Amino acid sequence: MAGRKTVELEVYLDLLSQPCRAIHIFLNCNKIPHKVKTVAIRKGENRTPEYTKLNPMQKVPVMVDNDFVLTESDAILKYLATKYDVPGNWYPRHPERRARVDEYTAWHHTNTRPHAAKVFLMEVLLPHMTGQPADPLKVERALADLSDTLEKLENMFLKRQPFLCGDDISLADLLAMCELMQPLGGGRDILKDRPKLLSWKSRVQSALGDSFDKAHTVLYSLRDRSKAKL
Amino acid sequence: MALEIYLDLFSQPCRSVYIFAKKNNISFDFMKVSLLEGEQYGEEFGKINMIRKAPAIRDGDFCLAESIAIMKYLAEKYQTSDHWYPADLQKRARVNEYLSWQHMGIRMHGSKMFWLRLLIPKIMGVEVPKDKMDGALEDLEGSLKLIEEKFIGDKPFIAGDQISLADLVAIVEIMQPVGSGLDVFEGRPKLSAWRDRVQAEIGKELFDEAHRGILASQEMVKNMDSSKMQVFKPKILRFFL
C-alpha cells in the first residue's frame, strides 16, 4: 500500500523527568519508530482533562501502542525491549542474566530513584515552587541518603563488572544513569568525586551515543540557568 | 543442592515468594531469617546476598534478591502456569506495570503503618504524633483507592481474568497494616471481594499459614525484647519521625 506509514507508537514525555529520558534514549538508540508528545509538567499539562483521561494518575511517561495504554517506565522499557528487535543485552533472555536486570530495576525504585530525585526536589523544585530558598538541613539529609545509594552502586552492583548487571549495558544502567543526572539540573554533579562511577558513566554514555545528550538537552539548559544564578 | 529460600514471614515480599513457591509445588529449603533481630546484617547472610535483604534465594551458585526478580526467575525455571506471569506481551506489561508502581505506591505506605502502629511505639517507647499517623493513613487510603479503581477496576484480578504475580504482591502488602490491627477492608466491598477471590485462588490454608505470623503481630510485638531492636532507632528517626 503506497502512502505514509502511520506511526502507531506514541510516548508522552517530559524530558525533565528521569524515567521519560530513559524511554527517549531507548527508542532513539534502537531506532524504534515512534511519536513523542511532550507534556510539560511545570506548565500543568499533565493536569488537563484530556491527559487525565489518558492517565488518571497524571504522571509521565505514558506509552500508547495502538490502543494499548501503559504507564511505569520499568514496564514500558521491558515491553519495548520484548516487542522490538533490539540487541539482547538490554533485557537478556537468559534467565539468570534477566533476573539480574529484574533485581536491579526492583531495587532502583526504593533506592536510586527516590534518593536522587529528592536532592533535585529540595534544591530546585521546591524553591522554585515556593519561592523560598532551599532548606540546608533537608538538602544535607537528601545528599546523605544519596551518598549511601552511590556507595551501594559502587560496592554491590559495580563491584566486579563494568555495568550494573554484567558485561554489557542493560535497562538497569539506562534507568540508573537518567536518575543520577537529575541533580545536575541544580548545578550539582554528584559523581564528580567518585572515579568508579565516573568511569561507569562514560561507558554508559559511550554505549548510548548521541541519544544521551539529546535527551538531556533540557536538563543541561536548566543546569546552565542554575549555574548562572550562583 | 536444593533451592534455598531465605525468608522472614513478617516481611511482605517474603510472604509472596513463599506463597508462590508453595502454590507451585516448588521444592525448597526454608532458611529462616529474623529481620527484627538484624540477622540480615550478619556475615553469613552477606555471603548470600550483598543487598542484605530478604527474601533471597540461592540456587546452586546463583544468588538473587528482590521478591519480584525471584518470582519471575522461579516462574521461568519451573515453568509455572502462564497466568502467573503471562507470556502475552500486553498481559505481561499489565503485571509489570503494577509490580513497578507498587514499590512506592503501596508497599511504602503499608509498611509505614506497621512501623507507626506497632514497632515504633515498642522500640522508642512513645506513641507516634497524631499528625504523622493521620498523614500516613491518608497516604495508605489514597493507595488503596488507586488499587481498587485503577488496577483492579471491574476486572476480577489486576491483569484480567486470572490471578497473577500482581495480585499476589498486592495482597501481601495490604495484609501488613491488617497485622497492625487496622482493618483496611472495612468499608471497601470491592477490595474485599478481590481479596476473597485471591484467597480462593491461593487456597485458604496456604494463605492463612503464610499470614499466621503477621496476624499475631500485636501480641508478638508486645512480648518482644525492645533492647534487641535498638539498632533500628536511627532508621526510625530518619524515615518516620
Is B97 an interface residue toward A (CB < 8 Å)? yes
**So what's the pLDDT on residue A36?**
97
Is A56 an interface residue toward B (CB < 8 Å)? yes
Residue of chain B whose Cα is closest to the Cα of A152 = B51
Give pLDDT tens digits along chain B (241 positions). Answer: 799 999 999 999 999 999 999 999 999 999 999 887 778 888 888 888 888 889 999 999 999 999 999 999 999 999 999 999 999 999 999 999 999 999 999 998 998 998 899 989 988 888 899 999 999 999 999 999 999 999 999 999 999 999 999 999 999 999 999 999 999 999 999 999 999 999 999 999 999 999 999 999 888 888 888 887 887 888 888 777 6
Q: Residue B50: list chain A partners with CB under 8 A.
A: 155-156, 159
Percent of chain A with pLDDT over 90: 91
**So what's the pLDDT on residue A167?**
97
CB contact under 8 A, B104 and A107: no
Query: How do beta strands A9-13 and B29-32 pair?
Result: unpaired
For residue B70, give Cα distances in angstroms to A150, A162, B13, B64, B77: 24, 23, 10, 7, 10
Question: What gap in Å lies between CA A151 and CA A196, rounded to an integer?
Answer: 10
Q: Which of B49, B58, B97 to mutate to test the interface with A (most CBs of A within 10 A)?
A: B97
How close, in Å, is residue B31 to chain A by CA atoms? 20
For A199, residues 6+ apart whose C-beta sits below 8 A from its C-beta are: none
Supply the DSSP symbol for B37: G
Q: Residue B97: list chain A partners with CB under 8 A.
A: 70-72, 75
pLDDT 10s digits, A152-170: 999 999 999 999 999 999 9
Q: pTM for this one?
A: 0.94
Question: What gap in Å lies between CA A10 and CA A33, rounded to an integer?
Answer: 9
CB contacts under 8 A, B 150-179 vs A, are 150
3-state helix/strand/coil string of chain A: CCCCCCCCEEEEECCCCHHHHHHHHHHHHCCCCCEEEECCHHHCCCCCHHHHHHCCCCCCCEEEECCEEEECHHHHHHHHHHHCCCCCCCCCCCHHHHHHHHHHHHHHHHCHHHHHHHHHHHHHHHHHHHCCCCCHHHHHHHHHHHHHHHHHHHHHHCCCCCECCECCCCHHHHHHHHHHHHHHHHCCCCCCCCHHHHHHHHHHHHHHCHHHHHHCHHHHHHHHHHHHHC
- What is the average pLDDT value for chain A, to the nearest integer? 94
- Is this prediction's ipTM beyond 0.90? yes
Q: Residue B94: list chain A partners with CB under 8 A.
A: 70
Query: How do beta strands B4-7 and B29-32 pair?
Result: parallel
**So what's the pLDDT on residue A3?**
47
**So what's the pLDDT on residue A7?**
67
How close, in Å, is residue A144 to chain B by CA atoms? 11
> Of B85, B13, B23, whose CA–CA distance to B51 is shortest?
B13
Nearest to A99 among B64, B92, B101 (CB): B64
Question: What gap in Å lies between CA B92 and CA B98, rounded to an integer?
Answer: 10
For residue A93, give Cα distances in angstroms to A7, A76, B72: 27, 17, 12
For residue B164, give Cα distances in angstroms to A26, A51, A179, A180, B14: 28, 29, 30, 33, 17
**So what's the pLDDT on residue A5?**
53
Which band of pLDDT confidence, cut at 50, 70 and 90, is reported for residue A6?
low
**Strand spans (E) along chain B:** 4-7, 29-32, 56-59, 62-65
Partners of A166 in beta bridges: A163
Q: Residue B75: list chain A partners with CB under 8 A.
A: none
Nearest to A82 among B66, B89, B101 (CB): B89
Residue of chain A whose Cα is closest to the Cα of B62 = A96
**So what's the pLDDT on residue B47?**
82
Which helix (H) or strand (E) segment holds residue B25: the answer is none
pLDDT 10s digits, A98-113: 999 999 999 999 999 9
